[in-house]
Structures are given as C-alpha cells and as structure tokens.
Structure 1
C-alpha cells in the first residue's frame, strides 16, 4: 500500500514562497523514496485556506469538516513536511494555531522535515530556535537537516537552494523508510530507538 506524505505550508500569498518550497521538498522526497522502493503520494495542506476554520475551532472547540480531514491526513501520514514564513523571528501564528489544535500525540513518532522562508538569511536560525523545540515537544522524529529559503535564494543560478533541498530530502526519505509514521508506545512513552533518533536529529 502506498503511503502518503503530507506537506503543511503556512504562506499567505498566492502563490507563496512557503508553498513553493514545500512543493520542491515533497517532489525531491518522493523521488528519493521511490528510488528506495517506498512509493508515496503527496497531500498538500495550505493553512491560509483553513484560517477561518482554525479561528472558529479555537472559540468553539469544534473542528470543521475540512479541518478534520486535514488532521486525519496528518494522523495517517508516513511523513510530514512543514513550511512556515518567518514572522517576528518565529513561525507564523497560523502555523502555530494548527499545531496547537491538532490532537495531542498526533505528531508523536512521525518523521518531520522542517523548513521556513524569509526575506533574508539572517532569519535562518528560526529552524533551530523555534521549529525544532516545537516539534521535539510534540515528540515528532525530526529529520537532521532543515531548509531555509531567503528571497534571494529563488534567483540564485548557482543552485545552492536546490542542493540543500536535495540533501534535506534525502535524509528525510531515509528517516521515513526507517520509521514511516510509526506511533510511539501507549501514552507516548519514548522507547530507546525513538530517543536515539531524537538525539541524532
């Protein structure tokens, strides 16, 4: 049975650099997974289309059908790619709200590739300072390489961004192959193998 990669992007423009980065990471990851004998389909979730649903759930505690479908996709994914624009040196509020409202434990044991976009390279530390702590708290298994894309990266003819996308996607694909969306033990207690993966991420 073919697994599914889920790409969650929090860009607000149409199209957005966050969406574009997510698409390129998904394409590269799917290519590496296919080469390793693990074919996947890709599901894209653009959070800007769910902004009203997220706000309604925050006050009503009732998810819309569209949100329920998005949460279910995350819960069955063999791996998740997340991409956020940088707002005030961190992830966007829309991005954080989605993961605040996601069922507790849904990300536990799930391979995740972290990525972000911003105006300049000075924002690149957001992956280590904001995204990494969030997904460690959610008990996800974080791929060892993240990708940050500044505005100038998109016009770089040297191909540096493409090389970083390929390197991160290759590591992520290897992680998915080893641990495709595996849940953690009951009550999300970390086993030795999972703890070792976190330490090496």
Structure 2
C-alpha cells in the first residue's frame, strides 16, 4: 500500500517534518504488507504551486506530487499554524487538486505550533477542509506545541492516530465482508426499480434489518462504499 506524507514545514530542520516523520513511521509499522512511503515537501513546490494558479498548468515536480497524493491509499497531512489556522502554502496545495481527488481517502491530520492554545486548529480548520474534500478523516488528530516535544502524551497520540489510519487503510483496500471486491455493484442491465426491490427484499451480508424495516449497515461497509 502507498502511504503519502504532505508536510508544509518551511524551516530546516522543521518541527512539522519531524512530526510528519513520526506519524509516518508509526503508521507504516501497523499497515500489513509492504508500504510504499512517499513524502511531499510543499516548501520545494511553492513556486510551481503559485504558477499553477496563474497559468493553470502544474510543473513537473508539482504534477508528480499530485499523482502521489491522488494515488495514495492513505495520507498524513501536517501544517504549521499561521494566524490561528493552516498555512497558506498548505491550503494552496490542496486548492490545486481536483475536487474529487481525495473522495473516500483516509487522512490523518496534524499540526505544529508554538503554543498549545492553537490546538483546536485541527477541529476548526483542518477537519472541515478535508470533510469538504470528502476525505475520511481519522478520529484522532495530532497537535504538537513547542512544549510537547519530549513531554508525556505526544507519543501516545501519535500511536493512537497511526493505528486508526492503518486500520482504515486496510479496511478500504481489502475485500468487502461478503468476499467480493468493495467496488462490486449490481449489474447495469438491472432496472432501477428492480434493484430497489431486490435490495429491499434481501439485505446484504452483514446488514441487519430491524423490525421496522430499517437497515443497519456496518461502518466498515459504509467506508468501503466511499471508494466505489
């Protein structure tokens, strides 16, 4: 599976890149099988991103980065906090992606800042952004303030978030509970009314039907359906 890290750190060395590397290592250690790990440093793409806005065409390096992100089985995105939100470079990169590029893709969000008072940037800025892009954001986001490095708590948050991303990547890339690929659909030749009647009469494997006829679909199947 391919795991892609997008880091918007500007300095060298960068605490943003350091957090990204920790999250990537923790996730790769939990993903079953071989992992193709790739890192996109937005600092190196700043000029090409700006040119893409003015001429509508990505340069060679930006095009390669876009291909990596859109073909990933899972994403780790990390930004420094500027003016209580994500950086302009971070937002600009995701603005040049196709609007459907991240639909159904597992994403782990993370950020770094000078103070813990900006920790809610994960919830009021990053999570809404990727929800709008229809990505599947893992429940645990990771924020690292200056005082968090070497302190208790950061390592645990990194491990928890990495485990959630690895589980989601495995769930969305594997077969459905019925044993058929997640992308399997009702044949196109079947009419819409017939499909509706069939689906209503016979619940799919793993789907339970309550007494009132309401179907309860397992969460894993709902996630797999996003990749269809």
Higher Rg of the two aligned structures: 2
- CA distance in 1 between counterparts of 2:222 and 2:140 reads 16
Are 1:8 and 2:6 counterparts? yes
- CA distance in 2 between counterparts of 1:38 and 1:149 reads 29
Q: Which residue of 1 aligns with 2:111?
A: 116
Q: Which residue of 1 aligns with 2:161?
A: 168
Are 1:102 and 2:97 counterparts? yes
How far residue 40 of structure 1 moved from its aligned partner, in angstroms, is 1.0
SS at structure 2 position matched to 1:86: strand
List 4+ stretches of structure 1 deviating above 2 A: 180-183, 192-197
| Contact 1:79-1:180 within 8 A present in 2 as well | no
**TM-score of the two chains, using structure 2 as the length reference:** 0.76
- CA distance in 2 between counterparts of 1:169 and 1:139 reads 20
Q: Aligned in 2, Cα 1:83/1:179: closer, same or farther, shift over 3 Å? A: same
- CA distance in 2 between counterparts of 1:194 and 1:88 reads 37
Q: Which residue of 2 aligns with 1:93?
A: 88
Residues 75-86 of structure 1 aligned to structure 2 (within 5 Å): 75-86=70-81
**TM-score of the two chains, using structure 1 as the length reference:** 0.86
- Say what the alpha-carbon RMSD is for the aligned residues: 2.0
How far residue 196 of structure 1 moved from its aligned partner, in angstroms, is 5.1
Q: Which has the higher helix share?
A: 1
Unaligned runs of 5+ in 2: 175-181, 186-216, 224-228
How far residue 155 of structure 1 moved from its aligned partner, in angstroms, is 3.3
- CA distance in 1 between counterparts of 2:47 and 2:173 reads 31
Instruction: Pick one of 7, 18, 21 that aligns with 2:16.
Output: 18
Q: Which has the higher contact order (CA 8 A, sep 6+)?
A: 1
Unaligned runs of 5+ in 1: 186-191
Q: Which residue of 2 aligns with 1:177?
A: 170
| Contact 1:83-1:116 within 8 A present in 2 as well | yes
- CA distance in 2 between counterparts of 1:168 and 1:115 reads 10
